[in-house]
Amino acid sequence: MNIFDVSFFAENFVALCRGIPLTLQLTLLSVTSGAVFAIVLASFRLSGNQVLDGLARGYIFVFRGTPLLVQLYIIYYGLSQFPELRKSFAWPFLREAYWCASLALCLNTAAYSAEIIRGGVIAVPLGQIEAAKAYGMGGLTLLRRIIAPQAFRLMLPAYSNELILVVKSTALASTITMMEVTGIAAKLISATYRPVEIFIAAGAIYLLLNFSITRLLRLLEYRLSRDRRPHQAATGEHA
């Protein structure tokens, strides 16, 4: 047996690609729902209301402080132990590993993202907010024109980190029977007992996914920071 068999690698790389749609679905679903939830949590944190702030703090404390795998197991294996829950409206969702995985990833990423959003918002210079207020802006106008655009740009580098972490975290869904990239890799290894090529192929797929994501985010970051780039000489050149 070769140490590294290139054709075996290629063959399994193709087989593993069949897991990409599920990996992407889990990522998209949890990132979008997680972002919405994170905005709610961040606004609780920034609300100045002690009760709301405390609630959000507690949530973030628990979900950032415990391993995602444990959260996933509690949602998938733990909740299903209660017959009351199995008879409830939630069971059609919680019965499916797909929704359990999405839910766990969503709840987890929301906790991290909320702090990223909060960080972005409080990093907006106070002087600008005061200036805007002096112009008579308030409430939603202030948020829409001054705070949100800048907070978004400020949080983007940290948030792209979080996106990468979510892509990699989807691998944990394989522990609850999901056949995403890692799940397929485990199955192929159990059939061939050749972990080297298969795990390297799986790793390469995650690398490609994350490479595309970082590129996209870098592009977005570039477009959002037009005012910070040195002005191009006004010679009318449009490359």
Partner 1 sequence: MKLTLILSAAVLAVSLQPANAADKLRIATEGAYAPWNFSGPNGTLEGFEIDLANDLCKRMNKECEIVAQNWDGIIPSLTAGKYDAIMAGMSITPKREEVIAFSKPYAAAINSFAVLGDGDLANLPMAGKPLSVDSEAAKPVLEQIVKLIEGKAVGVQGSTTASSFVEQYLKGADAREYKTTEEHNLDLVAGRLDAVVANATVLSAALEKEDMAGVKLSGPLFSGKVFGMIGIGLRKEDTALKADFDKAIEAARTDGTIKTLSEKWFRLDVSPQD
User: Could you list the residues that contact partner 1 (CB under 8 A)?
Assistant: 77, 80-81, 86, 95, 97, 175, 177, 183, 186-187, 189-191, 193, 195
Q: Name which of 161 and 175 has its Cβ closer to partner 1.
A: 175
Q: Name which of 95 and 145 has its Cβ closer to partner 1.
A: 95
- Shortest CB 200 distance to partner 1, Å: 14
Q: Name which of 191 and 234 has its Cβ closer to partner 1.
A: 191
- Shortest CB 27 distance to partner 1, Å: 22
Distance CA 177, CA 183 (A): 7
- Shortest CB 29 distance to partner 1, Å: 20
- Burial pattern 7-26, b for ≥16 Cβ within 10 A else e, equals ebbeebbeebeebbebbeeb
Where is 63: in which H helix or E strand? helix 50-65
Residues 6+ apart with CB under 8 A from 213: 160, 163, 164, 167
Q: Name which of 150 and 182 has its Cβ closer to partner 1.
A: 182
Q: Name which of 110 and 188 has its Cβ closer to partner 1.
A: 188
- Shortest CB 69 distance to partner 1, Å: 12
Would you say 188 and 16 are in contact if contact means Cβ atoms under 8 Å apart?
Answer: yes
- Shortest CB 106 distance to partner 1, Å: 20
Residue 154, number of CB atoms within 10 A of its CB:
19
Residues 6+ apart with CB under 8 A from 152: 120, 224
To 10 degrees, the CA torsion angle through 74, 76, 81, 85?
100
- Shortest CB 77 distance to partner 1, Å: 5
Q: Name which of 53 and 96 has its Cβ closer to partner 1.
A: 96
